[in-house]
Structure 1
């Protein structure tokens, strides 16, 4: 029944009989090395007929040529001839000994249906391997669609590498060769798809024949490929396909979504290239653009489903990963598939997704291993997640696609916002500290959360390894405060006035003082206003013209000192209130206008030095005056014309209130009124209190050598509230008492000129005038002079400038107190 026997019966030329293979009188056992049928001799025995140039090849239509030559070069031939392995397959192992049938015969051992069984005589686990690679199916289940052994491992030329020759490709290119311009329409109504043969030759599928992908080609049609469907890559790429079909893309494809991406959309069709080929669309540098074709604003991905990231490609290109890849050419930069995987893309909400919060740390750890170790052992670790509490992951702080460089201002500016989204209360207390206020004003060097607590290895203060723990806190503070001590670290970083008794009493003490002063003098101003309007009607406020007699109220020293007070106070108020209300937009504008937070701080300290300077100068002047007067210290302080409060001030206050309500005449004030004395004494109080607390804030390391760390907190409360009191009082109550009350409006220039018209002075300070007359000293303090108009205009210009700045400052403070929220 074999082809040899059939040919012999038909007396066909060169048909072999028994003696051709076994011999005549020298027939030996196949186990005998001298036998023609010995294992080592079989290839030569068969090769007598089946070799290049043999008559059999010329006479009969045998489709396989050069059998012996090819066999000897294959893995089987080399195993037999080069290594002497008798277990190596020879001709009879595959084709049989006597029942040798043509490969086209269905009963043949090398027929497509039986070839796997034949190979399994040696390769016992071939079906198991075959199922792993080829979609869990066998050749017998789908002949022609699922490849058998010889489809990938050609008979007689079996090598360790795949080298299948695409025998059928030329048949397909007869119609589909793009280079042949004459073949446009070979079949009615169908347009031929042209294929560039070089694409196939240069692709990773160069050794795969067309029909291995286009398995639905059939000879029963007039045109075998007329009913081609989308290629099924899972025939060969089964493992990857299973992953793909479990992904968001694959599930959309299985749902018959026409816009779902398939293998060929990413890898190409006939020009499929290795991901290591820099001309491949799946090469690392090309992947973002490939994915971005759909994942962009208005892209196909956003049209087919609701995505959290609607402009992923654009966001990625601006991120540190995108810039590293596109601008610096760093192929190690993370690309889409590093985070989302190449074939198993799932939405963030899917627990199996590589970008699900529970998996994000592990995904990022592929590149950021050491950071992952810090994070996973920190108090933010997702290992501590509960059903009620979910800790932050990498993307919580860094985002998914707009990841910034950590040393850029933009990222540094976002740190406290990110931390504050979870630690809201701590964020609010941080913003009340100098660090927080400087940060809000744009100081990128101000200490932020990560500077003290660390970026990834964040541990509770009770943990000995924590950066803010007892063991490490001093070194942490020394990062900025080189002279920090353990006492310095006693500063209560996130404390409010409700967390500590000392802070509680300091806060409420200052609050009561502030409210009391404003309440008393605010009421004083309101009840004074009606009488002030009456005074203006009685005494028309006109600027004197020509030579006029003036009372010399202030000397040059006093006027110069007051000028220093004005300038330094305006600078202190402007820079101080800018810091106090750092969360307001106007404060940021002022800080930038002044050159930044550091420049504003330097201006503030310079003004403070000026304040200490004029205060010292004034004290020296007082000592000189006392020595010149030849009186005791007590008499100098509590004397008749002293600025210290006396019983007469209580009388003047009572008389003033009666006058305000129309219950008595206007009091006959002396040289200094009670409100002027209050203004003066407030400077002493303010310089002492604001100045000392300011020095503590200026030199905290020095002062904590003598005081506990919480004194810094107390100093901050006192300095802030007392400054607010001073600023608000000067720019409202003081301005009203001197310039804005109707009888003096729009401005009292006496502090700039040093002189007040004598007639006006008689009405304003009748008691002092009468005392000067009685003592005969009036002439010594009265001068006749005329102030030039340019000089008066200059005084008014700067006076109004200072006045306007003060009013604007008050309005900003009121607005910030009423409308300002963090």
Structure 2
């Protein structure tokens, strides 16, 4: 078959040569009479005559009329047919597609086999840089072949609307077209499409970008042409549906740079830059239709994108001002006169450039209604960050407390309170052209400082201007300032300390007075000695846990630092905290046994069980203090406040014990536990500690210390005793139960051994202190007619039930 093809290809040219030769010999003149032998150095020399190509010229009339265009296809039929559908003719604009002589020349035609650089010899007239992949005049792979595996219609529709509508599959997928035998298994991602064939100059830029370098290193996730521009649906850049149109760029770049998996895999330093940009002033301007506002490519480049450390990077610290100057020329030129840029040019990496103050992707507008507020945020997040950094201060021999002194001044304090008239850093030092005070152009130079102050203080004088400096003006002034500070420090210690001692004397005196007064009153047991010891142990362990726990969470607080001064290092704090925790846990187990084993404990537990009546009493009590109810509810042995506090203590102890144990021994948490267990335990432990501490301060201490009836404090926690009057005032219902049982015993309806524990405890306590229980109770009945009437009604009711 091949032999037959080559035979036909050889015979056809000879046939045409014979025909034209006969015609040439029919010319009645010699071309060389007027023309030189132009084809002497051509591959056609000695093979054809002039008339073989110029078949229309038969006489000398062509001198005036000219000749027709030569048809190379007379001999080169196959190439002529291929030329009609090659890439040049499909992409031609008007009639500018190259013809035979555009590439091969006219008379001095050289054989392609003699060329040592085909691209240079034949393509360099039009293409300064091109990749040569296929033989010239080669036949393209038919779409029908591609259609055997691919849905051509699916790709053809977007392709027809794209800038590549006149291209065939093989024009872009050139490598695949020439390696169909290994497609698709033998072709990698890099061979998917050959954009470099046409866009070679852009390809060269892309090859040296961070994307191109990453692709050469085998990182296939790096952006290729189609990742940004699309594949079959590439539109004109000016088309607003184009993926690289200004309003679409953030989303296009964000497909990779906002992808959490991509960011994590390649340890990208900035998270979600595309999303941040869309919220920035630049992003909002583009969204509003201002397409000349900065986009990703404005700062990073188009195809030559480089990271910060690559040579020629537009976003390196020393090139950022040159990038920003394209849009912000005036302010950048001002910045380049500042001390910040002077130091940056010297290689001081801490010297701020544009993005150190304004950030990169989430730049906010500062010319809005909230201008002062935005500037204040920049001031706190940028100016203070550097000018309060002790490392920078030590490294460059700075004082380091200027920003703190500003914050302590009226200006700083007023700004923090939201005053929009108070001076910010830029009001005195300038915005971009910031210079030290020893520079004559500086706004705080000695001859300029008064003018600077007078922007706000019209009557400002030289003394006034010097007084509001961040540092002391002279050594003597600093000595006076330090002396006054020390004087007032000790004055505060002495005066306030004296007041504390004075009031402590009064407080102790009142406590002793109340304690002495209570000894003359009839008292009843509220706590047993055992319960007093339990309460004091609980109190001590709880306060210790609170102090040592919050000292860890707030190590720089004044009281935590004070504890460190007195020797509470982290090791000491840790051990004290754990010992206190063990004490509380042991006490909790003992308390449970106490409630179960002892008669007193069972009585306490029984009376502490919440009942529905507690909720009603809580409502009635609130209504009473709101002056809606006229009578205060009568409470049993434990009211709703005491029950709520007790069970809250039980809950808090269990929660703190479990979470504390997990935090103490975190390695015991095995695979059986959810991944959030340790972290959630830490959160619960902290917030439960806050809840418990505040509950003690706000709830418990109010009823035992700050309540007007108890102030300066209740002594029950010390001796377990409570005056009969106080008990009746708050636990009248329980007292009535005791009287009723006492009456039943006196009337012979109940034996003393059958009395409830609380009633027996009351009676035995009276007897133990030399009091007759009958006389005490009778005295209470005589003093209180309402109590007496209640008892009589209960007696009558009991008799009615018996009858």
Q: Output the TM-score relative to the length of structure 1.
A: 0.49
Q: Comparing both structures, which one devotes a greater share of its residues to helix?
A: 2
Q: Which has the higher contact order (CA 8 A, sep 6+)?
A: 1
TM-score (norm 2): 0.50
